[in-house]
A = this chain, B = another copy of it.
Protein backbone atom coordinates (compact mmCIF):
# COMPACT_ATOMS: atom_id res chain seq x y z
CA UNK A 1 0.00 0.00 0.00
CA UNK A 2 1.81 3.10 -1.22
CA UNK A 3 -1.12 5.36 -1.93
CA UNK A 4 -2.20 8.30 0.15
CA UNK A 5 -4.90 7.77 2.74
CA UNK A 6 -7.41 9.49 0.49
CA UNK A 7 -6.60 7.21 -2.43
CA UNK A 8 -6.86 4.26 -0.06
CA UNK A 9 -10.38 5.21 0.99
CA UNK A 10 -11.44 5.74 -2.58
CA UNK A 11 -10.13 2.29 -3.47
CA UNK A 12 -12.07 0.69 -0.64
CA UNK A 13 -15.19 2.57 -1.51
CA UNK A 14 -15.23 1.89 -5.23
CA UNK A 15 -14.27 -1.75 -4.70
CA UNK A 16 -17.41 -2.06 -2.66
CA UNK A 17 -19.45 -0.17 -5.22
CA UNK A 18 -20.43 2.59 -2.85
CA UNK A 19 -21.12 6.19 -3.80
CA UNK A 20 -19.61 9.11 -1.92
CA UNK A 21 -23.02 9.79 -0.42
CA UNK A 22 -23.41 6.23 0.81
CA UNK A 23 -20.05 6.05 2.47
CA UNK A 24 -20.25 9.60 3.75
CA UNK A 25 -23.46 8.80 5.58
CA UNK A 26 -21.85 5.82 7.25
CA UNK A 27 -19.03 8.08 8.34
CA UNK A 28 -21.41 10.80 9.44
CA UNK A 29 -19.91 13.19 6.97
CA UNK A 30 -20.93 15.42 4.09
CA UNK A 31 -20.29 13.80 0.69
CA UNK A 32 -18.64 16.96 -0.61
CA UNK A 33 -16.15 16.79 2.21
CA UNK A 34 -15.51 13.11 1.67
CA UNK A 35 -14.71 13.93 -1.93
CA UNK A 36 -12.15 16.46 -0.75
CA UNK A 37 -10.67 13.90 1.60
CA UNK A 38 -10.30 11.34 -1.15
CA UNK A 39 -8.65 13.95 -3.35
CA UNK A 40 -6.25 15.02 -0.62
CA UNK A 41 -7.79 18.45 -0.17
CA UNK A 42 -8.92 17.86 3.37
CA UNK A 43 -7.74 15.71 6.21
CA UNK A 44 -9.64 12.71 7.39
CA UNK A 45 -10.51 13.30 11.01
CA UNK A 46 -9.02 10.61 13.24
CA UNK A 47 -12.17 10.45 15.31
CA UNK A 48 -13.79 8.68 12.32
CA UNK A 49 -11.25 5.89 12.06
CA UNK A 50 -13.47 3.56 14.05
CA UNK A 51 -16.43 4.19 11.75
CA UNK A 52 -14.21 3.57 8.76
CA UNK A 53 -13.01 0.29 10.21
CA UNK A 54 -16.62 -0.78 10.74
CA UNK A 55 -17.72 0.29 7.26
CA UNK A 56 -15.10 -1.92 5.63
CA UNK A 57 -14.48 -4.50 8.38
CA UNK A 58 -10.90 -3.47 8.68
CA UNK A 59 -8.59 -4.03 11.58
CA UNK A 60 -8.40 -0.77 13.46
CA UNK A 61 -4.68 -1.09 14.08
CA UNK A 62 -3.89 -1.54 10.41
CA UNK A 63 -6.05 1.45 9.71
CA UNK A 64 -4.20 3.54 12.26
CA UNK A 65 -0.94 2.46 10.67
CA UNK A 66 -2.16 3.69 7.29
CA UNK A 67 -3.58 6.83 8.72
CA UNK A 68 -0.68 8.00 10.85
CA UNK A 69 1.85 6.78 8.31
CA UNK A 70 0.12 9.07 5.85
CA UNK A 71 0.12 11.98 8.26
CA UNK A 72 3.82 11.63 8.95
CA UNK A 73 4.63 11.24 5.27
CA UNK A 74 2.76 14.40 4.39
CA UNK A 75 4.68 16.39 7.01
CA UNK A 76 8.00 14.99 5.91
CA UNK A 77 7.27 15.72 2.32
CA UNK A 78 6.05 19.20 3.10
CA UNK A 79 9.07 20.12 5.21
CA UNK A 80 11.57 18.12 3.24
CA UNK A 81 12.62 16.11 6.26
CA UNK A 82 15.50 13.67 6.03
CA UNK A 83 14.72 9.93 6.25
CA UNK A 84 16.67 10.01 9.52
CA UNK A 85 13.60 11.66 11.04
CA UNK A 86 11.85 8.30 11.18
CA UNK A 87 14.75 6.64 12.96
CA UNK A 88 14.76 9.44 15.50
CA UNK A 89 11.02 9.02 15.89
CA UNK A 90 11.46 5.33 16.63
CA UNK A 91 14.10 6.06 19.29
CA UNK A 92 11.91 8.65 20.87
CA UNK A 93 8.89 6.37 21.03
CA UNK A 94 11.04 3.89 22.90
CA UNK A 95 12.25 6.65 25.15
CA UNK A 96 8.70 7.71 25.93
CA UNK A 97 7.72 4.13 26.68
CA UNK A 98 10.74 3.69 28.93
CA UNK A 99 10.01 6.73 31.03
CA UNK A 100 6.37 5.81 31.27
CA UNK A 101 7.29 2.37 32.59
CA UNK A 102 9.42 4.06 35.21
CA UNK A 103 6.58 6.35 36.17
CA UNK A 104 4.19 3.47 36.54
CA UNK A 105 6.62 1.53 38.67
CA UNK A 106 7.12 4.55 40.89
CA UNK A 107 3.45 5.27 41.18
CA UNK A 108 2.58 1.90 42.69
Contacts and interface: CB of A to CB of B under 8 A. Distances in A.
The secondary-structure label for the interface of chain A is helix
A91 interface: yes
A71 B88 CA distance: 10
A49 B80 CA distance: 14
Q: Oligomeric state, in number of copies?
A: 2
B64 A93 contact: no
A85 B73 contact: no
A82 interface: yes
Nearest to A75: B68
Interface residues of A, number: 38
A32 to B, nearest CB: 24
Interface of A: 1-4, 46, 61, 64-66, 68-77, 79, 81-97, 100
9 contacts: A2-B95, A65-B88, A66-B88, A68-B79, A69-B84, A69-B88, A69-B91, A73-B92, A86-B89
